[in-house]
Structure formats: C-alpha cells, structure tokens
C-alpha cells in the first residue's frame, strides 16, 4: 500500500517531468469517474500494475481539480458508504 509521503513524492516527480508516468496515471475526474478509467486499468493489468490518481490536473501542474468530489467518484465506481464504514470497522 502506498502512503501519503509516497504520493507527495510522486506528485513532486510528475511536476518536475511535466507529465504522469508509466506507473502513475493522473485523471481530473471533475465530472465524475472518467470514461477512460477502464482503458487505464486494462493497460496497468497488462503491465506490472500502477497507480491511478483522481482529482489532479496534469494541465495545471498537478494541482487539485476544483469541484472534484471523491465520494461521488467512489459511488460511481461501485463503492458505498456502508461498505466503506464496514471496512473501517474491520480494521
């Protein structure tokens, strides 16, 4: 599992190189779960895996996307608050 420090370092690296990487794909997702998410997951599954970061803008130097709603994207991906709460309780 990736921790917050690794996320910070990845974002810093992407800012330096000016793009996302083969191992880390950035998607704005301001309008919800991106339609291209399946293609990204498929590409990562055909390689050695990867990380998808939602809510960041590559065009804006990897800044947070205004209006990004993580809970809405989570629900669109098939998640639910009940599942999330149950998982937190199990840990």
Write the pLDDT tens digit of every residue in 19-73.
Answer: 999 999 999 999 999 999 999 999 999 998 999 999 999 999 999 999 999 999 9
DSSP result, the chain = ---HHHHHHHHHHHHHHTS--SSEEEE--TTSS-TTHHHHHHHHHTTT--EEEESEETTTTTEEPTT--HHHHHHHTT--HHHHHHHHHH-
Residue 78 pLDDT grade (very low, low, confident, very high; cuts 50, 70, 90): confident
- Residue 80 pLDDT more than 90? no
Q: What is the pTM (predicted TM-score) of this model? A: 0.79
Query: What pLDDT, in 10s, does the model give residues 2-12?
Result: 899 999 999 99
Residue 91 pLDDT grade (very low, low, confident, very high; cuts 50, 70, 90): very low
Residue 81 pLDDT grade (very low, low, confident, very high; cuts 50, 70, 90): low
């Amino acid at each position: 599992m990736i921790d917050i420090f690794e996320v910070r370092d990845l974002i810093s690296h992407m800012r330096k190189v000016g793009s996302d990487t083969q191992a880390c794909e950035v998607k704005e997702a301001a309008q919800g779960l991106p339609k291209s998410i399946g293609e990204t997951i498929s590409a990562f599954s055909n390689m050695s895996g990867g990380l998808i970061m939602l809510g960041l803008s590559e065009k804006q130097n990897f800044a947070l996307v205004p209006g990004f709603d993580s809970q809405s994207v989570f629900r669109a991906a098939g998640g639910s608050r009940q599942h999330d709460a149950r998982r937190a309780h199990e840990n």
